[in-house]
Structure 1
């Protein structure tokens, strides 16, 4: 039986997914309800920095932009550990999604936000009602409901492998699968 999806769940793609949008990806679920599911891919960096799309004082704060998913790539999203940011939506213990962007920009320009407190994304990942549950039943995704609180501090390049190793058991074995099994 698959683990229940909830806000803050982490999806880890199976090793040979074959979808370039989600191959070896780690996704945090920001919203899961009767309307569907919204998530952000945590380990796909774009070639852009925040300062490429938003007017910020680069000497006070700048950060790489991740590709949150294939949907609406012209939108900006963020998860953070800023509980006092107005209009933020809690998604896990000490982890929030969105919030008052003008206030956030002011904080960034004042140097009040540190790199390990926030992550920015262009685009997002989305599933219609029931679609994600079907994918989980087909073993497209592994679910971890206990990793959200450490996601902003882990290495993006090794995140997929690190989360699987931490899950232990059969997942630790998946972490060592080569990206191309024909090269094994």
Structure 2
């Protein structure tokens, strides 16, 4: 994996991660280089509505209109993940990361951004790895690295994402989707 960026890929927790914040998680990697990696957990909706923190964005988020726990780092910060259709220039307040995915500056007035985006999800916190840490975790079997699809970041059924992403794989990973959440209860 040396010199290979995983930005734009999904990390899918293997059954080896039996508990904790990353149990059965699906992480979209937003950034990955020699200095480390950052991403957001796509399948951890919280009960808090977006308007509890960012009321001006509430009506613009992709359902479900709640905050998502993006990871254990910086839980007091909010990240706005957006889809920018086409190959047009970055809308004001948006930084394109890869493909049609970008981050929106949540201090930008929504009327300036909303007409230019097709999806919005707001995350409290993010997942972060120090240099070499993610590579070690992949090598030791904590994560499957799979291709992301455009709809993954904005799924209206985020709690089903772990199974759904694994099920669409064409190898043994499809079988992993049938593993029980707690093998001891099987």
What TM-score do the two structures reach when normalised by structure 1? Answer: 0.85
> Equivalents in 2 of 1:31, 1:21: separation in Å?
20
Other structure's SS at 1:167 match: coil
Residues 37, 132 of structure 1: 8 Å contact kept:
yes
> Equivalents in 1 of 2:161, 2:126: separation in Å?
18
> Equivalents in 2 of 1:163, 1:52: separation in Å?
30
Other structure's SS at 1:161 match: helix
Unaligned runs of 5+ in 1: none
RMSD after superposition: 2.4
Residues 93, 108 of structure 2: 8 Å contact kept:
no
- Provide the aligned length of Structure 1 versus Structure 2: 177
Residues 73, 125 of structure 2: 8 Å contact kept:
yes
Residues 16, 179 of structure 1: 8 Å contact kept:
no
> Equivalents in 1 of 2:174, 2:5: separation in Å?
21
Aligned to 2:97: 91
Quick one: structure 1 residues 19 and 88, their matched pair in 2 at CA, closer, same or farther if it must change by over 3 Å?
farther
- Deviation of 1:67 after TM superposition, in Å, equals 0.1
Aligned to 1:61: 60
Quick one: structure 1 residues 152 and 125, their matched pair in 2 at CA, closer, same or farther if it must change by over 3 Å?
closer
> Equivalents in 1 of 2:66, 2:32: separation in Å?
26
> Equivalents in 1 of 2:8, 2:57: separation in Å?
30
Aligned to 1:103: 108
What TM-score do the two structures reach when normalised by structure 2? Answer: 0.84
Alignment of 1:120 onto 2:126: no
Please point out which of 156, 159, 164 is paired with 1:157.
159
4+ residue runs over 6 A deviation: none
